[in-house]
Amino acid sequence: MSPGNLMNDNVRRVDIRDCSIGGPELTIMAGPCSIESREQIFKAAEVVAASGARFLRGGAFKVRTSPTAFQGLGWDGWKLLREAADAFGLLTVSEVLEEDQIEKAREYIDLAQIGSRNMQNTPLLKAFGRSGMPVLLKRGFGCTIDEWLHAAEYILREGNEDVLLCERGIRTFETATRFTLDVAAIPIAKARLGLPVVVDPSHAAGHVDWVECLTLSGVAGGGDGLLIETHPDPAAAKSDGKQAVLLSDFGALMEKAGRVAAAVGRTVPAPSMLAAVAR
């Protein structure tokens, strides 16, 4: 066994504004699946900032299975995300669906998410490569580690090295969870490509009851960051409410993540420090 797998000797740091991802401290990204209202996103920003998050997440352009499901607030959503993040000293992460959105995304988004369903959209990958914008590349839920890493290479080959990988679960024969979190993919991806890996326990779990277990597994498995869905009122959420951690439970989850991080030689930002950032 190589204990180095959990350390980051060969992992490149990705610096986004004042945040360095891939070092000993995990980067916490949290917020609702979708931006729904000013009140909702400001409440989320306040709580996640006070609990150690550096990034506020929230989708404005949603990829939904059904065309009749909520599709997001679009540009208005991105404006709200930026305002809420700025108010609490946070950076923003949100999915960018198409090449035409990239220029405008720079105004609002610090880290552009390429969604699971777009992981093999090679024109989009190349466009992000040319753009130089920091990218969070989610693993396609039907894709092997190899295919995921090749997708990342499309971005890297255009000269953009600010790439974070995101393990968010893959489809297996198991249906008790929404997807199956592939914990081994974390050290394998890091060893193969030397990029930081962010773990998304929310989409893998599909239900809030399993989010804590997958969060802690992701930290123990060497994740360099966490992307977690949280909502002030999950029952009223317009997307992915079942898997959303209640905002008032988020701080306790981060506290547990911090204890597991310590066991593998990593840290999670302490809540008190975070409150200072928020002010």
Chain residues in the site for ligand PEP (CB under 6 A):
33, 59, 63, 115-117, 138, 168, 203
116 binds, among ligand PEP, Mn ion, none (CB under 5 to 8 A by kind): ligand PEP
Cβ–Cβ under 8 Å, residues 252 and 118? no
Looking at the Cβ atoms of 36 and 240, the one nearer to Mn ion is: 240
Give me the phi and psi of 40, to 5 degrees please: -60, -45
C-alpha 124/C-alpha 126 separation (Å) is 5
For residue 24, the minimal CB distance to Mn ion (Å) is: 28
CA separation for the pair 209, 213 (Å, rounded): 8
Minimum distance, C-beta of residue 91 to Mn ion, in the bound complex (Å): 19
Cβ-based nearer residue to ligand PEP, 81 or 278: 81
State how far the alpha carbon of 49 is from the alpha carbons of 60, 97, 134, 267, 273, in Å.
20, 26, 21, 16, 10
Beta-bridged to residue 55, according to DSSP, are 29, 91
Interaction residues for Mn ion, span 27-46 (CB under 5 A) = 33
**Smallest Cα–Cα separation from 274: which of 32, 47, 83, 67?**
47
| Nearest distance from C-beta of residue 18 to ligand PEP, angstroms | 24
Q: Which does 266 bind (CB under 5 to 8 A by kind): ligand PEP, Mn ion, none?
A: none
Contact (Cβ atoms closer than 8 angstroms) between residue 257 and residue 214: no
Residue 275: count other Cβ atoms within 10 Å of its Cβ. 13
| 240 touches Mn ion (CB under 5 A) | yes
Contact status: 227 vs Mn ion (CB under 5 A): no
Residue nearest to ligand PEP (CB): 115
List Cα–Cα distances, 20 to 17, 174, 214, 254, in angstroms. 8, 36, 24, 19
Spatial contact of 100 and 107, defined as CB atoms under 8 Å apart: no
User: Do 242 and 214 meet the contact criterion of CB atoms below 8 Å apart?
Assistant: no
8 A C-beta contact, residue 274 and residue 52: yes
Query: In whole angstroms, how close is the CB of 230 to ligand PEP at the nearest point?
Result: 12
Q: Does 11 bind Mn ion (CB under 5 A)?
A: no
Closest to ligand PEP by CB, 145 or 278:
145
Q: Which does 168 bind (CB under 5 to 8 A by kind): Mn ion, ligand PEP, none?
A: ligand PEP
Which of Mn ion, ligand PEP, none is residue 138 near (CB under 5 to 8 Å by kind)? Answer: ligand PEP
Q: Binding partner of residue 115 among ligand PEP, Mn ion, none, CB under 5 to 8 Å per kind?
A: ligand PEP
Nearer to ligand PEP, 2 or 175 (CB): 175
CB of 248 to ligand PEP, least distance (A): 21
Q: What is the largest CA-CA distance in the chain?
A: 50
DSSP β-bridge partners for residue 15: 20
Nearer CB in complex with ligand PEP: 138/231? 138
196 binds, among ligand PEP, Mn ion, none (CB under 5 to 8 A by kind): none
Tell me the C-alpha distance between 237 and 197, whole Å: 27
Q: Which is nearer to Mn ion, 160 or 243 (CB)?
A: 243
Q: Which residues bind to Mn ion, rule: CB under 5 A?
A: 33, 240
